[in-house]
Amino acid sequence: MKHFKKLILLTSIISLLGCKSKNEKVITKLNVVTTTTMITDMIKAIGGDKIEVNGLMGSGVDPHLYKASEGDVTKLTKADVIIYNGLHLEGKLEDVFKKMKRSKKKVIAVSDAINPSQLIRSENFASSYDPHIWFQIDYWIACTRFAADELSKIDNTNARFYHNNSEAYINKLKELKGQNELLMTLVPIEKRILITAHDAFNYFGKAYNFEVIGLQGLSTATEAGVKDVQNLANMIIEKEVKAIFVETSVPKRTIEALQAAVAAKDHNVIIGGELFSDALGTPNTPEATYLGMYKHNISTIVNALK
């Protein structure tokens, strides 16, 4: 009899556990795949420990020329959400994203947060707009809010968490903007000429009153010709430009050729340092975050041109 009662008790416990496992909802993290390092950093700041973020592109990767590997396609297929820049920044991935949208995959372009009337138009780019919107901090704030709203629609349970995190991140962006404006007062207006390998900094120029010139245009897929180099060398001499800049995601040879062309005309222009344009810095460095990247770029530009 005693053993019989134990058996009934054990059976009841197992039955209860079985009911719990059937009724209990399994909570899984939202699987979010991002493209550029700037977007990956933003989404991690918004999502925190509530989402799993997989960034396709790493430090020093040029999104203009990026090709998806088989592993990337697998990540994209398994993702709950795909978040990318848009405006044809990820040129070779655009067709992939369009196909996934048609198959009802949730695909979000952060550039949709920006009214086209606010974008810099360019006939030299596939979208007819400059895609390097992260260098205008006000635009990046808009993109952050937009991304938080979209994630909240998909995962309403954590909506408050996403919005609180996005506002905390936006406050840091606003603080960065104020610091930048203060530092820029050190560079006289007539010296605000920024020359780099490609036109990644036009939104930066618009924000801080810089004339921006990139040898390769908006996309690194184009190459600068000898005539381009010579014309820019003459302009550097005429306007007494102190420094030109290389970019981490673009080979140095174009800027080095420009420096040599200036030297051949018996003038000197220094390479003022390395700027982060289409990708953040290596992991575990200050420049591996959007905030750290921007601070590095500002200090490098100001110190070279002031």
Count up the domains in the chain and report the number.
2
Residue 93 has pLDDT above 50, yes or no: yes
> Cβ of 147: how many Cβ atoms within 10 Å?
25
CA distance 110 to 236: 36
The rounded percent of the chain whose pLDDT value lies above 70 is 87
The rounded percent of the chain whose pLDDT value lies above 90 is 76
CA distance 109 to 150: 10
Decide which of 128, 145, 175 is a domain's last residue.
175
User: What's 194's domain CATH number?
Assistant: 3.40.50.1980
Q: Is the dihedral of CA 274, 275, 277, 282 positive or negative?
A: positive
One domain, residues 166 and 41 = yes
One domain, residues 250 and 267 = yes
State pLDDT tens for residues 152-209. Answer: 999 999 999 999 999 999 999 999 999 999 999 999 999 999 999 888 999 999 999 9
The predicted pLDDT at position 92 comes to 85
Nearest to 191 by CA among 221, 231, 236, 223: 236
State which H helix or E strand residue 218 sits in: none
Name which residue leads in pLDDT, 222 or 265: 265
State pLDDT tens for residues 35-92. Answer: 999 999 999 999 999 999 999 999 999 998 899 999 999 999 999 999 999 999 998 8
Residue 64 lies in a domain: yes
Task: Report, as an integer, the average pLDDT of 200-222.
Answer: 82
Residue 9 lies in a domain: no
The predicted pLDDT at position 195 comes to 96
Q: What is the mean pLDDT of the chain?
A: 89
One domain, residues 170 and 189 = no
The predicted pLDDT at position 223 comes to 54
One domain, residues 151 and 41 = yes
Task: Pick the range with the lowest mean pLDDT from 1-15, 138-152, 177-191.
Answer: 1-15
Residue 8 lies in a domain: no
CA distance 36 to 249: 12
CA 289 to chain centre: 10
One domain, residues 214 and 156 = no
Name which residue leads in pLDDT, 222 or 78: 78
Residue 15 lies in a domain: no
Query: Which tokens hold the place of 126?
Result: 């596939």
Task: Report, as an integer, the average pLDDT of 248-277.
Answer: 94
Q: Is the dihedral of CA 138, 144, 147, 148 positive or negative?
A: negative
User: 28 falls in which pLDDT band (50, 70, 90)?
Assistant: confident
Query: Which tokens hold the place of 34?
Result: 């991002």
User: 7 falls in which pLDDT band (50, 70, 90)?
Assistant: very low
One domain, residues 201 and 226 = yes
Task: Report, as an integer, the average pLDDT of 140-160.
Answer: 98
Query: How many helices (DSSP H) and strands (DSSP E) are in the chain?
Result: 10, 8
Residue 296 has pLDDT above 90, yes or no: yes
One domain, residues 163 and 193 = no
Task: Pick the range with the lowest mean pLDDT from 205-209, 212-216, 239-243, 283-287.
Answer: 212-216
One domain, residues 187 and 124 = no
Residue 20 has pLDDT above 50, yes or no: no
The predicted pLDDT at position 12 comes to 43
Residue 7 lies in a domain: no
Decide which of 118, 152, 175 is a domain's last residue.
175
Residues 215, 197: contact at Cβ < 8 Å?
A: yes
Scanning the chain, the segments in alpha helix (DSSP H) are 2-23, 37-47, 70-78, 94-102, 137-154, 159-184, 202-208, 226-239, 253-263, 290-305
The predicted pLDDT at position 276 comes to 97
Decide which of 124, 155, 175 is a domain's last residue.
175
Query: Which tokens hold the place of 287?
Result: 């420049």
The predicted pLDDT at position 10 comes to 40
Range of the domain at 164: 30-175
